[in-house]
Structure 1
Amino acid sequence: MTARDLRQTLNELGIEVKSASSSLDEETAQTVRELFTKQAVVPAEKVAVPARISVRDLADRLHTDASSVVQALVQLGVMVTANEEVDFGAAEQIAHRFNVVVVPEEEEPTETAAAPPAAEAGAVAAEAAPAAEEVAPAVLAPPRPPVVTIMGHVDHGKTTVLDFIRHTNVTEQELGGITQHIGAYQLVRNGRRITFIDTPGHEAFTAMRARGAQVTDVAVIVVAADDGVMSQTIEAIDHARAAEVPIIIAINKIDLATADQDRVKHQLVELNLVPEEFGGDTICVPISAKTGEGIDNLIEMILLVADLQELTAERDKLARGAIVEAKLDKRRGPVATVLVQEGTLRRGDATVAGVTSGKVRAMTDDRGEGVAFAGPSSPVQIMGLSSVPAAGDILEVVPNERTAKQIAEQRQLEQRQRELRPSAGRVTLQDFYEKMQEGETKDLNIVLKCDVQGSIEALQKSLEQLHHEEVQVRVIHAGVGDISQSDVMLASASNAIIIGFNVRIEPQGRHAAQDEHIDIRVYQVIYDVINDVKAAMLGMLEPVYEEVVLGRAEVRATFSISRVGIVAGCMVTEGRIVRGASVRVLRDGEVVHAGSVDSLRHLKEDVNQIAQGSECGIGVAGFQEWQEGDIIEAFQEQEVRRETL
């Protein structure tokens, strides 16, 4: 639902709202939240399974993929492959996670019971009614707090906004007033929890901003009303778009005499973020982090946007979360900040994160206080891992430390194997088709860097005109200047290639590209860019197969051969007939059978092929109703290279 649809719904409820920036009183806001947080009720499905069943068959009956079932079994401490079998007890536990009730296969009724007579139907229904009421339907996962990322240009007031919300003084603790690490904080407003991730705005920490966008539900882009949209503002918007999260624009510093909100909004229009006042769907909230003006309205907008997404997460399951930040503390050892995404993380849990494992020995919240457990959307700092995990790794709880260690060791082995194949998993222009995910529409994501703005406009327009019903070029970010580490990290997060035009690659960018295995192409001629991308798109297209006729033969007589059946005595009139080739039998111009050549004889010898002008005996699998005059047409399918879009 868009903001415009929400306003229309509120107006239908008798609530007058002029724009998304309009304030709502607490009673009205609570009514709206209840309207959008009602959860649907879905009854659990019943599935019959035998005493032992293979993982693959179980996955089919649960309507999921085998890898998901294997992963769930690993969390239970059961190490199996997709082709191995599990007992009924294990199948029952796994099915519960997918909201499915399993029953022994022998208890499944084999015949449909006869319908009761009409006279008895009412009595039967009356007796069944109480039983039906006793069956409690399964309820979807409960709501979880939203995770909000605050991004924007350096010194535009991101940390100051969060500082005012938290009523603390974080900014002065940071070097030069610029955030030096990712901090995750949770606050309670109007009885609801909100988790904020404060990502750095300085270019040196652009990679951290990309990590923040990967775990967020709502992105708040802070733009200073006096400076307007800057280079890092555009980068922040591109990161949020790449993560496909809703964007709220917070126009900060409106208390300054030089503030110009209209200029900021017109700049946003140029970035395809059209404010509601201009007829678009982008929510723009004017605020002052210094005086606090508009902060309450900003929080209300965050909650409304989050409610529209109907965010939910299971609590009664093994925890799973993302590593936001990690470091090696001289006194405490490896310390990691974890954002729990589902389940409940408890002190004492055995965990695995990337290639490291361990046990949660201690856990503190964002205020530094010790906690025993943390639910979905809660940021906590944990200790007890064997080594420092990488930011962005997924932390998972497993049954015991032994299982965690086995999984970590297996991942270490897989990581070493990937290092021997450094390009695996990354898209390049040469092998883009093989790297594409399955789907009807394929996207070629491009980060474009040029020497001047005019080159960007010309190249971006030319690239986006290279379209096809199966392929789409997406320029996810375009900017002026050399290729930097920031560009590489965005390409890494979006599985994109980087194209540079009359620019250089910065040393840090080159090193990052080597580490992340990102394909960078630098050109001096626009036509070379277009031709290379066009070639990549041709490689992306689904292959086209063309039927090639190998030869034809006419049936002149039929023979009955013991242990073979009826074969056709033929004369090859065109081309050649090949054993194993696909054939169709034509009679009076119509196809009466399609199959393949399973026997081919010349005189009394078996042959692999027979050429034009020769007589032969042909047997076709599954067909013996030959008639004189039938035409046998042999053919094969060959892939045809696509030369045009």
Structure 2
Amino acid sequence: MRKRPPIVTIFGHIDHGKTTLLDTIQNIKITEKEAGGITQKVSAYEIEYKGEKITFIDTPGHAAFEKLREKGAKIADIAILIIAADEGIKPQTIESLELIKKHNLPFIVAINKIDKPNANPEKIKKELSDLGVIVEDWGGDIPAVNISALKNIGIDDLLELILIMAEMLELKYDENKNGEGYILETIKDPKRGILAGCIVLDGKVNLGDYIITSSSYGKIKFIENPFGKPLKYAEPSSPILLGNFENLPIAGELFKIGNKDSIEAIKEELKEAELSFRKPIIIEVPEATMEISLIIKADLIGSLEGIEKLLRKIAEEQKMNIKIIKRDLGIVTTEDLKLAKNTNSIIISFNLKNPKSIYEEIQTLNVQLIDVKIIYELEDILNEIVQIKKTRSSEKGKLEVLAKFSKTSTKKTIGGKVIFGKVSLNDRVLILRENSIIGRGKVISLEANKVPVKEVTEGNLCGLIINTKTDIEIGDILIFP
């Protein structure tokens, strides 16, 4: 897996400076090319800052983004909420904030036009606090920066914040797989034919490949960057223009790269994915002795497919029915948590960087979430949960981690206090962080008062060596089924 650049989208009230900000960052006057100075289409641009690439998407509430939001797809990694310092919160500011919150996008507040005589950044921060958004210098956790997009003030500070946030998100892609991404806009060019503005999310797109959506396909005869420079290939998170399609694809569609022989199969696969995203699935096996309900959120369609295949295997091996209440792309949302609570479902979060607020809500609602990045880890944890349910046993013991010592790739030495029941040598263990299951393991050494023991009971301190690949942190809870 290789690091990929962040994809940043800018939200805000009309005329608060979204496109001017992009102009300044790019040093290209985009606004003058647009009718009335207001952006009429989605445009994506890639820049390089301090050796790191950043992709910006200018989003004027485009239909493509509406469709992608409806599907829960995650194009943007980071949002910028831009607010004019001389005007304050406006209706579209509130709408933008609601969209950001709804999709749990990490975001930065950019207070623009601070060069204006009547600019009042502190008033903006007060108005934001009234909406429940507390910026960092007011004691909250939302980064904010004062800028003037027109006068190029504070732009470096904004770009620095984006790179810091991107580093925390740990954005990755698989360079060995065929490319996939989304159609942002479609163009019918009288000279070059049917073209599409796309953004690559994973894999690689090459000249000569076939690009396929659920409604169209075409052989890639050219690839250009946003400024018309010809490319031989494109990688995530690259915005590109490419052609030629046989007929107009639909803005908002997922695309996959294949070859001539795979066109129909991929089209059918994508059509099925479009139709089945939110349809419940029941995996039934003969002579099932139990049932489990799941909600699956993942980074890519390929991940959803892999998880479904794994679940079918587990259902067969464990003789159980599995009800998939919902499967979708993008980070876990409040709606997912409420659905899990109402349907008594476990949420699987696969290869996602969910916001801190979600983990706080998980604890409030007391729902269970499995948070993993590797498919075999998911298999191990699910099998452990199934065994617990089959024996109808609750946890035998529970330990709070109070200290961590040495660690290797497979062994973690920790100290803790038994807060319920007892802990025994050779016990299996589930590792919980903020009520989310993040790993599993086994107790291979147990000590009390630096003396090896076979078990430690409630209220007592102990030292343990856990055989696990999962890093254990202070504050984690270990469950012993």
TM bucket, shorter chain: 0.5 to 0.7
Could you give the per-residue CA deviations for residues 397-446 of structure 1, whole angstroms, max 9, x where no partner exists? 12x2121134325656x599x6xx9x968xxxxxxx9994389xx98849
- 1:437 matched residue in structure 2: 326
- 2:54 matched residue in structure 1: 194
Runs of 4+ in 1 over 3 A off after TM superposition: 204-214, 409-412, 433-436, 442-446
- 2:341 matched residue in structure 1: 470
- 2:194 matched residue in structure 1: 334
**Counterpart residue type for residue 471 of structure 1:** N
Tell me: higher relative CO, structure 1 or 2? Use CA pairs within 8 A at least 6 residues apart.
2
- 1:479 matched residue in structure 2: none
Q: 1:404 aligns with which of 263, 266, 272?
A: 263
Q: 1:213 to 1:437 in 2, by over 3 A?
A: closer
In structure 2, C-alpha distance between the alignment counterparts of 1:387 and 1:190, rounded to whole Å: 41
Secondary structure of residue in 1 paired with 2:221: strand
- 1:461 matched residue in structure 2: none
Q: 2:36 aligns with which of 173, 176, 181?
A: 176
In structure 1, C-alpha distance between the alignment counterparts of 2:118 and 2:235, rounded to whole Å: 44
Is the contact made by 2:183 and 2:255 (CA closer than 8 Å) also made in structure 1?
Answer: yes
Once the two structures are TM-superposed, the CA of residue 335 in structure 1 deviates from its matched residue by 1.0
Once the two structures are TM-superposed, the CA of residue 332 in structure 1 deviates from its matched residue by 2.1
- 2:306 matched residue in structure 1: none
Secondary structure of residue in 2 paired with 1:214: coil
- 1:310 matched residue in structure 2: 170
Is the contact made by 2:214 and 2:268 (CA closer than 8 Å) also made in structure 1?
Answer: no
How many residue pairs get aligned? The number is 298
Is 1:299 matched up with 2:159?
yes
Secondary structure of residue in 1 paired with 2:80: strand
Is 1:374 matched up with 2:234?
yes
Aligned positions of 1:236-255 closer than 5 A: 236-255=96-115
Is the contact made by 2:134 and 2:140 (CA closer than 8 Å) also made in structure 1?
Answer: yes
Deviates more, 1:235-244 or 1:264-273: 235-244
**Counterpart residue type for residue 329 of structure 1:** D
Is 1:261 matched up with 2:121?
yes
Could you give the per-residue CA deviations for residues 505-549 of structure 1, whole angstroms, max 9, x where no partner exists? xxxxxxxxxxxxxxxxxxxxxxxxxxxxxxxxxxxxxxxxxxxxx
- 1:16 matched residue in structure 2: none
Once the two structures are TM-superposed, the CA of residue 377 in structure 1 deviates from its matched residue by 0.6
**Counterpart residue type for residue 342 of structure 2:** V
Secondary structure of residue in 2 paired with 1:470: helix
Q: 1:245 to 1:443 in 2, by over 3 A?
A: closer
TM-score (ref. length: structure 2): 0.56
Q: 1:344 to 1:443 in 2, by over 3 A?
A: closer
Aligned positions of 1:197-208 closer than 5 A: 197-200=57-60, 207=66
Structure with more of its chain in helix, by fraction:
1
- 2:93 matched residue in structure 1: 233
Q: 1:350 to 1:158 in 2, by over 3 A?
A: same
Is the contact made by 1:185 and 1:379 (CA closer than 8 Å) also made in structure 2?
Answer: yes
In structure 2, C-alpha distance between the alignment counterparts of 1:248 and 1:186, rounded to whole Å: 19
Q: 1:438 to 1:471 in 2, by over 3 A?
A: farther
Is the contact made by 2:279 and 2:325 (CA closer than 8 Å) also made in structure 1?
Answer: no
Is the contact made by 1:322 and 1:392 (CA closer than 8 Å) also made in structure 2?
Answer: yes
In structure 2, C-alpha distance between the alignment counterparts of 1:363 and 1:438, rounded to whole Å: 33
**Counterpart residue type for residue 470 of structure 1:** K
Is the contact made by 2:2 and 2:174 (CA closer than 8 Å) also made in structure 1?
Answer: yes
Once the two structures are TM-superposed, the CA of residue 314 in structure 1 deviates from its matched residue by 1.8
Question: Which has the higher Rg, Structure 1 or Structure 2?
Answer: 1
- 2:220 matched residue in structure 1: 360
Instruction: Work out the percentage of aligned pairs sharing the same amino acid.
Output: 36
- 2:139 matched residue in structure 1: 279
Once the two structures are TM-superposed, the CA of residue 323 in structure 1 deviates from its matched residue by 1.3
TM-score (ref. length: structure 1): 0.42
Is 1:150 matched up with 2:10?
yes
- Structure 1 alignment gaps of length 5 or more: 1-140, 426-432, 447-466, 473-645
Q: 1:345 aligns with which of 193, 205, 226?
A: 205
**Counterpart residue type for residue 404 of structure 1:** I
Once the two structures are TM-superposed, the CA of residue 330 in structure 1 deviates from its matched residue by 2.8
- 2:459 matched residue in structure 1: none
- 1:393 matched residue in structure 2: 253
Note the aligned Cα RMSD (angstroms): 3.4
Q: 1:390 to 1:438 in 2, by over 3 A?
A: closer
Once the two structures are TM-superposed, the CA of residue 331 in structure 1 deviates from its matched residue by 2.6
Is the contact made by 1:355 and 1:409 (CA closer than 8 Å) also made in structure 2?
Answer: no
Q: 1:205 to 1:268 in 2, by over 3 A?
A: farther
Aligned positions of 1:629-640 closer than 5 A: none
Is the contact made by 1:223 and 1:250 (CA closer than 8 Å) also made in structure 2?
Answer: yes
Q: 1:154 to 1:210 in 2, by over 3 A?
A: farther
Once the two structures are TM-superposed, the CA of residue 396 in structure 1 deviates from its matched residue by 1.0
Could you give the per-residue CA deviations for residues 311-357 of structure 1, whole angstroms, max 9, x where no partner exists? 11122321111212223223322211111111111000122122212
Secondary structure of residue in 2 paired with 1:471: helix
- Structure 2 alignment gaps of length 5 or more: 281-294, 296-322, 344-481
- 2:243 matched residue in structure 1: 383
In structure 2, C-alpha distance between the alignment counterparts of 1:411 and 1:290, rounded to whole Å: 43
**Counterpart residue type for residue 402 of structure 1:** D
**Counterpart residue type for residue 266 of structure 2:** I
